[in-house]
Structure 1
């Protein structure tokens, strides 16, 4: 890009961003990493994905621990700052790039943000525990040649069903969890559901059954967004 293209302040900021994209560390197949990637796609923000080989324990290397002190993924760098924890990273991306991409992703007023935050908390505290256990048992344990725990699968399917009953009622009132606009609250659910509807028919039915028409409609809506399709394409490429 020539120097004349970077004359106005806005243009300079765009040029600097193109020269120094944010860095996301971790495998695209990770649910937490893919949450951040989907957010970056929604916000039309350039990024560099830096793979971390978990099987070789690269996430425990001293250099990586400087970025993520707990040695997990994702880790995130934006010039001289670093962050960890996918939901915090997504909030940061939305706040820094308010005027880019999907401007409604993290709300445009205090009430919208509060509604999104409460459903993000519901995802983290109520949805994520049983769904993450099921993702491991149904999707990752077979790949790692680890025996599946049928008791854990049944128990967490039952827990997840109760959460989804609450979701179905809510989604009968609004198109998306935090209101009538797609938001970070919906996006945060995408990685786990993606694995669950692909890995096991019984678990998939929790999201697609006619007994939860609203959840089924919601999943169809959010999983067909360009941002998520691009994220899945990145997973397949890796």
Structure 2
């Protein structure tokens, strides 16, 4: 059975980072597009796979998973030995990756999710953003990036000198803000963050995914 990825057909958010992991691992997959506007993620058939009614989800020969970060770890291990190793095997090296992924999910993502809702989703629906929420969220994001600046001054990537899952997960939502002109990733006050961000955005897998969009590779 072909490895199936159920996600929005746009290379963003959780589905986008799973597709990016699959690209880094040089792993073939079938995209099953889910129309979020039509609320296909709430259909009974899909919710049998993900009871939370969100994307992405995968079906690997009958083995079903949801939650993007967990899927990414599974994909890296399933396709070990090919492509980029995103989660190191060494105990200490792996622990540093998990530490950085946890910081992203617990510290950076919550305010980022709120700001994206205000500056991306609401305007698309004809609604005005709540500037107070935007300002508070950007302040929290900036505080985290200030810490990243220190970390990235010590090594090339967030968990060491190798590109890992800790870096890749940042490609899910931060690009939304950059595309909307919210310049927080390349400010002069954070040159290490800017250098790191430019490296992420110039990775061949990311560039190709953005140019070609989400599509099956089988």
Q: What band does the TM-score fall into relative to the shorter chain? A: over 0.9
- Could you tell me which of 94, 99, 111 is aligned with 2:76? 94
- Give unmatched runs, 5+ long, in structure 2: none
Q: What corresponds to 2:67 in structure 1?
A: 85
**Which residue of 1 is the match for residue 56 of structure 2?**
74
Q: Relative CO higher for 1 or 2, CA cutoff 8 Å, sep ≥ 6? A: 2
Distance (Å, rounded) in 1 between the aligned partners of 2:20 and 2:53: 22
Distance 2:22 2:169 in 1: 12
What does residue 166 of structure 2 align with? 185
Confirm or deny: 8 A CA contact 1:41 1:230 kept in the other structure: no
Runs of 4+ in 1 over 3 A off after TM superposition: 234-237
Question: Hey, what does 1:154 align to over in structure 2?
Answer: 135
Matched, 1:111 2:92: yes
Could you tell me which of 7, 31, 43 is aligned with 1:49? Answer: 31
| Higher mean C-alpha deviation, range 135-144 or range 111-120 | 135-144
The structure with the greater share of residues assigned to helix is: 1
Counterpart-to-counterpart distance in 2, 1:236 and 1:65: 22
Separation (CA, whole Å) in 1 of partners of 2:197 and 2:43: 38
Name structure 1 gaps, 5 residues minimum.
1-19
- Residue 224 of structure 1 corresponds to 202
Displacement of 1:131 after TM fit?
1.3
1:132 aligns with 2:113: yes
| Distance in structure 1 (CA, Å) of the matches to 2:66 and 2:198 | 29
- Measured in 1, the distance between the counterparts of 2:63 and 2:194 equals 39
- Is 1:23 aligned with 2:4? yes
Question: What corresponds to 1:211 in structure 2?
Answer: 189
Report the structure number with the largest CA radius of gyration.
1
Partner Cα distance (2:39, 2:99) in 1: 35
CA, structure 1 residues 128+97, in 2 after alignment: closer, same or farther (shift >3 Å)?
Answer: same
User: TM-score by structure 1 length?
Assistant: 0.86
Q: What TM-score results when the alignment is normalised by the length of structure 2?
A: 0.94
Q: State the shift of 1:146 in Å.
A: 2.2
Contact 1:28 1:234 in 2 (8 A): no
CA RMSD, 1 decimal: 1.4
How many residue pairs are counted as aligned between the two chains? 214
Point out the more displaced range, 143-152 or 119-128: 143-152
Task: Please say if residues 178 and 185 of structure 1, whose CA atoms lie closer than 8 Å, have aligned partners that are also in contact.
Answer: yes
Q: CA shift at 1:140, angstroms?
A: 2.2
The aligned counterpart of 1:173 is: 154
Decide whether aligned partners of structure 1 residues 234 and 28 sit closer, same or farther in structure 2, where only a CA change above 3 A counts: farther
